[in-house]
Amino acid sequence: MRQPNWVPAGTDLEKPNAARMYDYYLGGSHNFEADRQMARKAVELWPELPRIMRANRAFLRRAVQYLAESGITRFLDIGSGIPTFGPVHEAARRTAPDARVVYVDNDPVAVAHSRLLLEDDPLSSVVQADLRHVDDLLARPEVSGLLAAGEPVAVLLVAVLHFVPESDDPHKLVAALRDALPPGSALVLSHASLEGRPDQAGSHQDLYRKTPTPLTMRGREAIEAFFDGFELVEPGVVYLPEWRPDDPQEVGPHPERMTGVAGVGRLP
Could you tell me the residue ranges of all domains in the chain? Answer: 54-266
| 209 CB burial (10 A radius; 0-12, 13-18, 19+) | exposed
Q: Kind and range of the H or E element at 102? A: strand 100-105
Q: Kind and range of the H or E element at 231? A: strand 231-232
User: Which 3 state secondary structure label does DSSP give 266?
Assistant: strand
**Distance in angstroms (rounded) separating the CA atoms of residues 186 and 176:** 14
Residues, the chain: 268
pLDDT tens by residue, the chain, 268 residues: 456 666 666 677 778 877 788 788 888 777 888 888 888 887 887 777 788 888 999 999 999 999 999 999 999 999 998 887 789 999 999 999 999 999 999 988 889 888 988 999 999 999 999 999 999 999 999 999 999 989 999 999 999 999 899 999 999 999 999 999 999 999 999 998 877 655 555 555 555 555 556 678 898 999 999 999 999 999 999 999 999 999 887 777 778 777 789 999 999 9
pTM score of the predicted model: 0.87
CATH topology for 54-266 is Rossmann fold (3.40.50)
Short-list 156, 164, 126, CA closest to 60? 156
Q: Kind and range of the H or E element at 180? A: helix 170-180
Please report, for residues 5, 20, 23, 31, the alpha-carbon distance to residue 54 in angstroms, rounded to integers and kept in the order given.
26, 14, 10, 16
Please report, for residues 25, 210, 250, 268, the alpha-carbon distance to residue 49 in angstroms, rounded to integers and kept in the order given.
8, 16, 18, 36
> What phi, psi does 221 have (nearest 5°)?
-60, -45
